[in-house]
Amino acid sequence: MGHHLNYNEQTGKHSFFSVKEKAWHGLGQIVADHPTSAEAMRFAGLDYQVEKRPLFTNELNNELNEINPDFALSKIAVPNYYATVRNDNNSVLGVVGKDYEVVQNADAFQFFDAIVGGGEGIKYETAGALGKGERIFITAKLPDHIQVGKQDLIEQYLFLTTSHDGFGSITAAFTPVRVVCQNTLNAAMRNQSAGIKIRHTASANDRLKQAHTLMGISHKAGEELQELFNYWSRVRITDKQVKKLIQVAMAPNKEVIHNLELGLLDKLSTTYTNIVDSAFTYAMGDPTQQMETTAGTLFGAYNAITGYYQNVRKFKDGDAKLKSIMDGTAKQRAQVAFDLCTSFARNGADALNLN
């Protein structure tokens, strides 16, 4: 199954919760109101701890094996390696080295609570565990929104995922989402980062506590995005320029960019041209692209790329879509589009050869 959600046999529930509406996989608990961090942990089945336990292998004693195989095995400690184990059901989640630091699920929630001072105002939207519980994820909405024009609202979300199996870092991302079409506008701007990765070392918990500072997540960040997007909503761009911007943003490599510059359109792959055409069709025809803030504007051009991946592109399943938007191709294309729009706003079409 595509969702990979942990199924807890003790509770008979999938380790996932969402607020008010079912998620794409239709599993887990639906709650009426935004829970506290403690409630969210319980609803999502994340109220367990993970321990590092010594790792052993077996030594076979051939003489004893001939007499009684049941007494032929003795334990040998595996130096410098440990098993990570859930303390509620003793499930082995992974094998890690001596320097690996466990970051408990509760510590992950403290990252969110620290942003708004003890959790006041934070709104947990979803949380859950994958596999045996070796990977967890949390999404939460910040209390303030970004307003573009009179009615175009952008909600500010945070996403965090971490693992207990020794694979992957703690990853936290700031993900503004345009309400009208659920476009994820998660590009880095200026000196800020749209996300941060923290390795599971001795300093992991301390770094996680300061992650919101390192990411530049604050009222100032929202204010800067609001100012930028409002400015983009007043910058005019022609349909031809939108098409060229999409072509450049969606280019998978430098060879495609080179062929575009030379006008060698016959050398472009059918897959690529279909993606460009679909994104351009979305840019020109979707109702969310016909608003005062988006019609014929640079903000609309940026939303054409993010909206394509959110609302047009077909993915294998919800997991693949989330991975692409949060840390894959969709995110990369959104960042390129963001940078192109920034240059266009500053220097006009000539700066990027968008004539």
Instruction: Check residue 215 and give its pLDDT.
Output: 58
Inter-residue contact 237 to 245 (CB < 8 Å): yes
Instruction: Check residue 60 and give its pLDDT.
Output: 60
Using alpha carbons only, give the angle 287, 344, 240 rounded to the nearest 5 degrees.
55
Residue 289 neighbours by CB under 8 Å, 6+ apart = 282, 283, 295, 300, 303, 304, 307
Closest CA to 340 of 322, 355, 323, 352: 352
The predicted-structure confidence for 120-148, as pLDDT tens digits, reads as follows 578 899 999 999 999 999 988 888 889 99
- The percent of residues in the chain predicted with pLDDT above 70, rounded, is 85
Residue 66 neighbours by CB under 8 Å, 6+ apart = none
What is the band of 1 on the pLDDT scale with cuts at 50, 70, 90?
very low
Q: For the residues 190-208, what does the mean pLDDT come to?
A: 75
- The percent of residues in the chain predicted with pLDDT above 90, rounded, is 49
Q: For the residues 307-311, what does the mean pLDDT come to?
A: 94
Closest CA to 243 of 107, 109, 354: 354
Q: Determine how β-strand 92-97 pairs with β-strand 73-86.
A: antiparallel
pLDDT of 245 > 60? The answer is yes
- Structure tokens given for 94: 């992974």
Distance CA 85, CA 248 (A): 47
pLDDT of 66 > 70? The answer is no
* Gyration radius (Cα) of the chain, Å: 24
**Which residues lie across from 146 on neighbouring strands?**
154
Q: How does the average pLDDT of the chain come out, rounded?
A: 85
Instruction: Check residue 335 and give its pLDDT.
Output: 92
266 or 119, greater pLDDT = 266
- Structure tokens given for 44: 């999502």
Distance CA 245, CA 284 (A): 13
- Structure tokens given for 354: 């968008």
Distance CA 276, CA 251 (A): 9
Distances 73 to 57, 58, 66, 77, 170 between C-alpha atoms, Å:
10, 6, 12, 13, 38
Q: For the residues 46-52, what does the mean pLDDT come to?
A: 95
Distance CA 279, CA 239 (A): 12
Instruction: Check residue 154 and give its pLDDT.
Output: 93
Question: Where is average pLDDT lowest: 72-76, 169-173, 174-178, 241-245?
Answer: 72-76
Domain ranges of the chain: 7-48+101-216, 50-97, 233-352
Distances 294 to 73, 151, 171, 282, 288 between C-alpha atoms, Å:
71, 12, 31, 12, 8
The model carries a pTM of 0.80
Distances 88 to 77, 99, 128, 132, 197 between C-alpha atoms, Å:
24, 24, 16, 12, 28
